[in-house]
Amino acid sequence: MKPGKLLPYIALIIGAVVMLFPFIWMLSTSLKAPMDIFNLNIIPESATLANYIEVLQESMFIRWFLNSVIIAVITTVSVIFFDTLVGYIIAKFTFFGRKFLFIVILSTLMVPVEMLIIPWYMMSSELGWTNTYWGILFPGLMTGFGVFLMKQFMEQIPEDLLNAARIDGMNEFSIFFKIAVPQVWPAISALGIFSFLSNWNAFLWPLIVTESSSLRTLPVGLSYFSSGEAESQWHLIMTGATISVIPLILVFILLQRHIIKGIVLTGMK
Amino acid sequence: MGEGYFPSPFFTIRGYIMEQLKSSQDYDREYDKKKEKVKQKAPFFYKLRKTHKYQKYFFIFISLLLPLIFYLGIRVMPTLFTFNMGFREWNLLATGERPFVGLDNFVALFQDEVFLKSLLNTFIYIVIGVAGQLLFGITVALLLHKINRFKGLFRVIYFIPYVTSIVAISWVFQWLFMGNGFINDVLINIGLPPQPFLGSPDQALYVIAAAMIWQSIGFQMVLFLAGLGNIPQMLYEAADIDGASPWQKFWNVTVPLLNPTIVFSAIIGMITFIQVSFTQVINMSSDGSGGPLDSTISVVVYIYQQAFQQYDMGMASAATVILFLFILGLTIFQMKVLTKKFDY
Amino acid sequence: MIKKWQLILLGIMVLFILSACSDEDGGNEAEGSEGSDGDITLEYWQYAFDSKVNLMDELIKEFEEENPGITVEQTTFPYDQYNEQVAAQVPAGNGPDVINLFYGWVPSYVDSGYLQPLPQDTFSHEEIENEFFPLVEATKLDGEYWTIPTAVRTLALFYNKDLFEEAGLDPNAPPETWDELQDYAVKLTKAEDNGRIEQSGLAWEPSQQGHHWLRDGLTYQAGGKVLSDDRKEVVWGEGSAGLEAFKYWLSFPGELGTSEQGFYTDDVTAFMSEKAAMNIDGSFRIGTLQSDAPDLNYAVAPLPAKDEKSTNASFWTNGITSDVEGEKLEAASKFIKFLTSEGVMEKWLDATGELPAKEAVAMQDKYVNHEIYGPFIESLPFANAHFFIDETKERDIVIDAANKVLLEEADPEEAFNEMVDSTQELYDEYWSDK
């Protein structure tokens, strides 16, 4: 290979080491016995799966895991559907209050979640949503993030393409699904990853709104391993964190194909 | 700056882009079809347009109905509720009334040195963090675009930090950066004095910002890969025909066409930093609350402390209003600057 | 294409409907269980700490058997988000009937009207003051006892016997005085040429137990005190004792160079990993050491003293929330009475390592002579529990004062006076509303 072609590889490998190093540290900690985690060796002296067994046996880990999957999947599907639609409408239609609507949706991101928890809880309690799946997931059903992302990408679709379809007699719903959506698959995949991840990792709200341990999501369940005043059980936290990363990496591997696919102008069959 | 240095290739390429777009095969075919149809159905044309208009508004109405209910009910109303509380006195643990106190909370905030410090810190986090994210995100995406082998593997590796639990990884960072940690070992081995890092009011902020960047590169990479995927390959081929250098191609094809992604990344990077600057600071600062000497405290940490440690919802809400205006201002500024620069 | 999307759409709708149904069911169930058969259900909250949660489950069973007609439901939340969880429930009108709080939080809870005083017919002041250690008075406000603990904890000196021997010190003769502690710390410290500490003589973490040690340990030992008897004045700066304690406290990371903040992330980790030879820590740590570092060869001794003996005490304590009334209030009192009974206190010590709050229970021979608990119990009669108005803020003020000296080379006396003044401001603010 020519040195010019080798250069990107070298840069990427150096970067990859920096990116992976803390992660590998975490992984190796999860394989150490509690006493050993304070040794600074990266390779555990005697690797053990005891932590994994403890996490799986002494908690409702499987249940928490399933809860997280259910919640992340439902919210992600909802976010992809609604945010793509709203982003498309804001990008491609002119109607009264369009810009205002966009600013309002975007500005919903500028308030820290910590401050919305009290009103959300008051509302949930009033409507009987506390301690239910619906209560956990309702704030994540749509996000200004997705609307913004999809608007940016939808704007790049040539107007003529849509008009041509209109003259063809396609109705607006088909135009959206058959013409606009295939143009922005990379962005939709990115949105899917983002949404899945943020709901998978959501902590504060799921913690506040649930009481029974069978409704806990993974991050909420794992937070019970670190009990503030007494020492946190780092070996279990690291183990839990490692297990909970795996599905996210799988989702990413599954979706990454779409991210790079790029625009294929085959919208009209 | 691209315009000033390379005017001619830019315009050539730009012209070529337009031509290419117009003559793209699919498009051509549809365009012809459309023309034909218009000719054939000329008498019905007006009717068609009319039904289209109704259909259009019907579509907009139906599509926006649920989202409007959601955003108003779940996001806007609670936000307005919080803003309202900014002008009231409210002890979170008390059940009594919440008297209106005008601007008292805001006056108290601006007299509080810690709050001002947190505002400044948040600004620094945003500037360093967003610049770092964008820079590394674009670089990684471009490098990945260049190579042919192991693409998927590298993508996964760079993405991993983004999906890793912040709490767990913050602890690892503490290990790496502590007095006897790995980073100091490296420094000593190459003959530099050990540094206090998280224990120093001058360095802690930057260590935390670096951890934030480390964690967010992966997502920026995904966004930019999506953005790069949107650039038709033929534009680069066209630029090659024009004899453009790689640098010219970058500035005149990649950057302008990546602009929507850059605008998005910069703004979203900033907005998400509001949340990130909470979790990272709480988990990485030496005392768990923005230390040492408040050198790493961010506005959200301040808000959190006011609300859930002092139970002073009034102050916390007022600080939220200020943070909101602060971020909104920065967003509008960014949108203006970034969109203008490449608005041809 | 369209079919796929319709399917997804359908899926979303089905899920919405499903989840909507499921919460209706949930809601009905919860309501049904409370009102149906005249039973009283008490909601009890404490923070999530395995040994306490498990013990409490057992105790609740026992209590329910003794008191048919009363059911107790235990709910736990992680320590870090405990206050937040409580706070979120108040505006919604929900929450526990009996709540377990850290004593330092009680004043803010009382101040906002969240708690009600313990009913005097069940908990007479006379009885409390006769039976319990005087430190429980830290939650006596406006002439009322608002909460009462099952157990208390004190600070003592943990030391690593192996490292003592390695440094040529007698592992059965721990330091007893201020000077000895300094001396030992220096001998137990190993530093590299570049000044990096390899092994710390004494772990020193102001954000953990360090600030308690300074306030309730060192200050009293030097003959001073932090608060006036009416709890209105911060008298820390009167006389020289306060400053002396402050300077002594700072000498470890300062001129002696035996300690470092954040050494191996925190004091407990450093001590467990044998990187720190001594640590000042509470009795609640014993359980963690047993489970996470079973091979650690350590012992415990009372805090090294100066003119007087003193140590810090702290406790988690039970209170009743303000809108509990009638039969429910009676049941809540009964439950707390049960939690503070002698039998429960003994079980509590065995299960959690926290010391009985009643003098007669704690001072039994089997506990005083206990190898590990002994030194903690021995310290109980002279233990102080500082009356906190705002635990977090007062902690932060101490940490800031230490950092100003250690990191910004401020004059210790100035930093100390500033610390006293800022603390006084907190108290002035608190009392101005009264």
Q: pLDDT tens, A43-66?
A: 777 778 888 888 888 778 889 989
Shared-domain flag, residues C145 and C254 = no
Contact B92 C260 (CB under 8 A): no
Q: How confident is the model at residue C22 (pLDDT cuts 50, 70, 90)?
A: very low
Whether A261 has a pLDDT exceeding 70, the answer reads no
Measured distance CA(C282)–CA(C331) in Å, rounded? 33
Q: Return the residue matching tokens 């610390």.
A: C419
Same domain for C330 and C283?
no
- My answer on whether C214 and C357 are in the same domain is no
Rounded distance between C-alpha atoms, residue B55 and residue B68, angstroms: 19
Q: Given this model, what pLDDT does residue A243 score?
A: 86
Mean pLDDT of chain C: 87
Residue with tokens 């021979």: C365
Domain count of chain A? 2
- pLDDT tens, position by position, B90-125: 888 887 788 889 899 999 999 999 999 999 999 999
- A127 to each of A117, B213, C23, C103, how far by Cα in Å? 15, 40, 9, 34
Do A102 and A204 belong together in one domain? yes
Closest-CA distance of chain C to residue B93, Å:
6
Q: Domain for residue C73, yes or no?
A: yes
Residues of C in contact with A224 (CB under 8 A): 48, 76, 78
Q: A89 and B64 in contact by Cβ < 8 A?
A: yes
Contact C8 A74 (CB under 8 A): no
Task: Output the CA–CA distances (angstroms, integers) from residue A237 to A23, B208, B283, C301, in the order listed.
Answer: 13, 21, 13, 32
Angle formed by the axes of helices B113-146 and A3-30, to 10°? 130
Q: What pLDDT is recorded for position A260?
A: 60
What's the pLDDT score for residue C10?
Answer: 52
Contact B178/A at CB under 8 A: no
Q: What does the alpha-carbon distance between residue A120 and residue A136 come to, in Å, rounded to a whole number?
A: 11
Residue C200 contacts B where some CB pair is shorter than 8 Å: no
**A233 and chain C in contact, CB less than 8 A:** yes
Q: What is the pLDDT of residue B344?
A: 37
Q: For residue C434, is pLDDT > 80?
A: no
Residue labelled with tokens 């006389």? C239
Kindly tell me if the per-residue pLDDT of A1 is higher than 70: no
Shared domain for A14 and A123, answered yes or no, is no
What is the rounded distance in angstroms from the CA atom of residue C304 to the CA atom of residue C202?
Answer: 13
Residue B167: band (very low, low, confident or very high) from pLDDT cuts 50, 70, 90: confident
Same domain, A44 and A68: no
Same domain, A64 and A174: yes
- Which residues of chain A have a CB within 8 Å of the CB of C291? 34
Q: How far is A208 from chain C (nearest CA, A)?
A: 6
* 3-state secondary structure at position C425: helix
As a whole number of angstroms, the distance between CA A176 and CA C2 comes to: 10
* CATH class assigned to B90-341: mainly alpha
Is A111 close to B76, i.e. CB distance below 8 A? no
pLDDT of residue C400: 93
Taking residues C89-96, what's their average pLDDT? 85
- Asked whether the predicted pLDDT for residue C287 surpasses 60, the reply is yes
pLDDT score for B232: 77
Name the minimum distance, in Å, from the CA of A71 to any CA of chain B. 17
Model pLDDT, residue C161: 95
- C84 interfaces chain B, CB cutoff of 8 Å: yes
Above 90 in pLDDT, residue C253? yes
Give chain A positions within 8 Å (CB) of B150.
9
Per-residue model confidence as pLDDT tens digits over A145-168: 999 999 988 988 888 999 898 888
Residue-level length of chain B:
344
pLDDT for C44: 95
Interface test with A, best of C1, C101, C209 (most A CBs within 10 A): C1
C-alpha distance from residue C309 to each of A65, B59, C305, C388 (Å): 52, 80, 5, 21
**Domain boundaries of chain B, sorted by first residue:** 29-85, 90-341
Task: Classify residue A155: in a domain, yes or no.
Answer: yes
Q: Give the residue from B50, B230, B325, B335 with the most A CB atoms within 10 Å of its CB, the best one to mutate.
A: B230
Higher-confidence residue: C110 or B340? C110
Chain B residues in contact with C197 by the CB 8 A cut-off are 179-180
Q: What is the pLDDT of residue C99?
A: 95
Residue C27: which of A74, A128, A137 has the nearest Cβ? Answer: A128
pLDDT, position B124? 93
Residue C433 has φ and ψ, to the nearest 5°, of: -80, -15
- Whether C81 sits inside 8 A of A177 (CB atoms) is no
Predicted local distance difference test score (pLDDT) of residue B247: 84
Say whether pLDDT at C219 is over 90: yes
**Which whole number is the average pLDDT over B230-256?**
84
* Shortest distance, CA C61 to any CA of chain B (angstroms): 31
Nearest to C292 among A81, A126, A231 (CB): A231
- Considering the domain architecture, whether residues A22 and A66 belong to the same structural domain is answered as no
- Smallest CA–CA separation between A128 and chain C, in Å? 6
CATH number at residue A70: 1.10.3720.10
Same-domain status, C261 and C291:
yes
Q: Distance (Å, rounded) from C-alpha B300 to C-alpha B313?
A: 13
Who's near B297: CB < 8 A, 6+ residues apart? B114, B117, B118, B121, B281, B285, B289, B290, B291
Distance between CA atoms of C215 and C236, rounded to whole angstroms? 9
- Cα distance from A231 to chain B (closest Cα, Å)? 13
One domain for residues A39 and A162: no
B95, B179, B200 member nearest C260 (Cβ): B179
- The pLDDT assigned to B34 comes to 54
Q: In this structure, are C301 and C329 located in the same domain? A: no
List the single residue in C12, C91, C294 with the smallest CB-CB distance to A78. C12
Nearest residue in B to C391, CA atom: B309
Assigned domain for A174 exists: yes
CB contact under 8 A, C88 and A208: yes
Which of A17-21, B127-131, B261-265 has the weakest average pLDDT? Answer: B261-265
Q: Is residue A234 part of a domain?
A: yes
CA distances from C153 to A17, C129, C284 (A): 46, 18, 7
Q: Is A81 within 8 Å of C295 when comparing Cβ atoms?
A: no
Among candidates C380, C358, C357, which has minimal Cα distance to C368? C380
Q: What 3 state SS string does C194-237 have?
A: CCCEEEEEECCCHHHHHHHHHHHHHHHHCCCCCECCCCCCECCC
Residues forming a β-bridge with C46: C76
Task: Determine the structural domain holding residue C295 and report its residue range.
Answer: 156-312+390-432
Using the Cβ of C154 and the Cβ atoms of chain B, whether some distance falls under 8 Å is answered with: no
Let me know if residue A31 belongs to a domain.
yes
Mean pLDDT of all residues in C101-120? 91
Provide mean pLDDT across the span C303-326: 92
Distance from the first to the final alpha carbon of chain A: 42
Cβ of A114 and B317 within 8 Å? no
Nearest CA-CA partner of C249 in C277, C282, C196, C210: C210
Q: Is the pLDDT of residue A85 over 90?
A: yes
Domain-located, residue C261: yes
Pairing between strand C190-191 and C197-202?
A: antiparallel
Q: Are residues A114 and A212 in the same domain?
A: yes
H/E/C letters for each residue in chain A?
CCHHHHHHHHHHHHHHHHHHHHHHHHHHHHCCCHHHHHCCCCCCCCCCCHHHHHHHHHCCHHHHHHHHHHHHHHHHHHHHHHHHHHHHHHHHCCCCCHHHHHHHHHHHHHCCHHHHHHHHHHHHHHHCCCCCHHHHHHHHCCCHHHHHHHHHHHCCCCHHHHHHHHHCCCCHHHHHHHHHHHHCHHHHHHHHHHHHHHHHHCCHHHHHHCCCHHHCCHHHHHHCCCCCCCCCCHHHHHHHHHHHHHHHHHHHHHHHHHHHHCCCCCCCC
CA–CA dist B308, B311 (Å, integer): 5
The torsion angles phi and psi of C321, rounded to 5 degrees, stand at: -75, 160
Answer whether residue A263 shows pLDDT above 70: no
**pTM > 0.90:** no
Say if A267 falls within a structural domain. no
Asked whether B29 and A58 are in contact (CB, 8 A), the reply is: no
| Confidence label for A229 from pLDDT (cuts 50, 70 and 90) | low
Residue A238 lies in a domain: yes
What is the residue type of C113?
G
Q: What pLDDT band is residue B321 in, cutting at 50, 70 and 90?
A: very high
Q: Report the distance separating Cα B75 and Cα A120, nearest Å.
A: 9
Domain count, chain C: 2
Q: Do residues A25 and A142 both lie within one domain?
A: no
Nearest 5°: CA angle at B313, between B311 and B316?
A: 105
Among B33, B63, B231, the residue with its CB nearest the CB of A89 is: B63
When CB atoms are compared, the residue of A111, A187, A267 closest to B82 is A111
What is the span of the domain harbouring residue A34?
A: 1-48
pLDDT at A40: 67
Mean pLDDT of the region B52-68: 85
> Cβ A112–B274 below 8 Å, yes or no?
yes
CA distance A53 to chain B (A): 19
Q: What 8-state DSSP symbol labels residue C390?
A: -
Percent of chain B with pLDDT over 90: 32
In a 10 Å sphere around its CB, with 0-12 CB exposed, 13-18 middle and 19+ buried, how is residue A171 labelled?
middle
C295 vs C272: CA distance, rounded Å:
10
The residue behind tokens 């005008």 is B102
Give me the CATH number covering residue C267: 3.40.190.10
Q: State the residue for tokens 């989202």.
A: B67
pLDDT of B43 > 60? The answer is: no
Same domain, A69 and A41: no
Neighbours of B (≥3 Cβ pairs closer than 8 A)?
A: A, C
Is C111 in CB contact (< 8 Å) with chain B?
yes
Q: Do C23 and A129 touch (CB under 8 A)?
A: yes
* Cβ <8 Å between B94 and C404: no
Co-location of C255 and C330 in the same domain? no
Please indicate whether, in this complex, the C-beta atoms of B291 and C403 are within 8 angstroms of each other.
Answer: yes
Residue C45 token pair: 């909250």
pLDDT of residue B57: 84
CB contact under 8 A, A260 and B275: no
Is B53 a residue whose pLDDT tops 90?
Answer: no
Contact: C262, B199; criterion CB under 8 Å: yes
Interface size, chain A vs chain C, as Cβ–Cβ contacts under 8 Å = 113
CA separation for the pair C190, C299 (Å, rounded) = 21
Query: How far from the centroid of its chain's Cα atoms is residue A66's Cα?
Result: 16
* Residue C118 near residue C148, CB atoms below 8 Å: yes
**3 state DSSP class of C119:** coil
**Once rounded to an integer, what is the mean pLDDT over residues C271-283?**
91
Using DSSP, state whether C64 is helix, strand or coil: helix
Residues A28, A131 share a domain: no
Q: Is the CB of A119 less than 8 angstroms away from the CB of B78?
A: yes
- Report helix, strand or coil for B122: helix
A6 to A10, B136, B221, B237: CA distances (angstroms): 6, 19, 21, 23
User: What residue in C sits closest to B179 (Cα-Cα)?
Assistant: C263
B33, B71, B143: residue with CB nearest A12:
B143
- By CB neighbour count within 10 A (0-12 exposed, 13-18 middle, 19+ buried), where does C192 fall? exposed
d(CA C375, CA C285): 14
B286 contacts in chain C (CB < 8 Å): 207, 261-262
Under 8 Å between Cβ of B189 and B208: no
Helices B299-308 and C82-92: crossing angle in degrees, nearest 10, is 60
Burial group, residue B328, by CB count within 10 angstroms (0-12, 13-18, 19+): middle
Q: Same domain for C194 and C224?
A: yes
Q: Does C34 have pLDDT greater than 70?
A: no
Q: What is the pLDDT of residue B46?
A: 55
Tokens of C190: 């190993």
Q: Are residues A219 and A252 in the same domain?
A: yes
Supply the pLDDT for residue C162.
Answer: 95
User: Quick check: helix, strand or coil at residue B95?
Assistant: coil
Give the separation between CA C153 and CA C357, rounded to whole angstroms: 9
Contacts of residue A254, defined as CB under 8 A and 6 or more positions apart, other chains included, come to none
**pLDDT of amino acid C383:** 92
For residue C353, the model assigns a pLDDT of 83
Quick one: A10 and A69 in the same domain?
no
CA terminus-to-terminus distance, chain B? 13
C207 touches chain B (CB under 8 A): yes
Q: Do C114 and B94 touch (CB under 8 A)?
A: yes
